[in-house]
Amino acid sequence: MTFLIATKNLHKLEEMQRILSPLGISCICERDLEAPLPEVEETGETFAENALLKAESALKVTGLPVIADDSGLCVNALGGRPGVYSSRYAGEQAGSAENIEKLLGEMQEKTDRTAYFCCYIVCLLPDGRRIDFDGRCEGEIMNEPQGQNGFGYDPVFLSEFGSFALITAAQKDSISHRGRALRGLFDKLKTYMEENIHD
């Protein structure tokens, strides 16, 4: 069964394929389509609202089962920022390095460095079924980046296994916000597929 992952982030695609492949799910993304997906303006005030906007747009265009997520880093000392603005924290055209630089600058005088990654996933199926799941991973903001793996804020996020940019993919999947949300989605999709898909 083929699912469209409504993201341009190939790292997210890889994570989702790793976790969902045991169900016999093949994950494709925009690059596998004949035409690009429409740009979706993320006007939601929550991760859930933005994930739904992306999923609804992709389903309308393709008619395929769609999985969309919205995720980000929430820092307690910054009142939950960058939150839904995580990917564009330092500006609309900013990359990960610029976002991290801004974050570390704001954290210089902060003693509370606790933070968490949050992920909200929406799965829309052509029969009208909607499956939602969210996940969260607690950690701390490090004083400087460590590691070259991962993406986004991973180099400055200290998890129980170490920097998100230093740990293995298996370790990250076991504790990450997206890994936890996807495992919840996995269980619900497994039940759905057993009940609705027959040879």
Tell me the C-alpha distance between 16 and 122, whole Å.
Answer: 13
Distances (CA, A) of 189 to 14, 30, 53, 88, 181: 18, 22, 21, 31, 12
Give the tokens for residue 27.
């994950």
Annotation says 70 is catalytic? yes
Both tokens assigned to 73: 């880093």
Distances (CA, A) of 136 to 101, 114, 117: 23, 13, 6
Q: Which of 195, 190, 182, 198 is nearest to 67 (CA)?
A: 182
Active-site pick, 32, 69, 70, 187: 70
Tokens coding 55: 């999923």
3-state secondary structure of 19: helix
Return d(Cα 101, Cα 81) in angstroms, integer: 14
What letter would DSSP give residue 198? -
| Secondary element (H or E) of residue 134 | strand 130-141
- Residues designated catalytic: 70
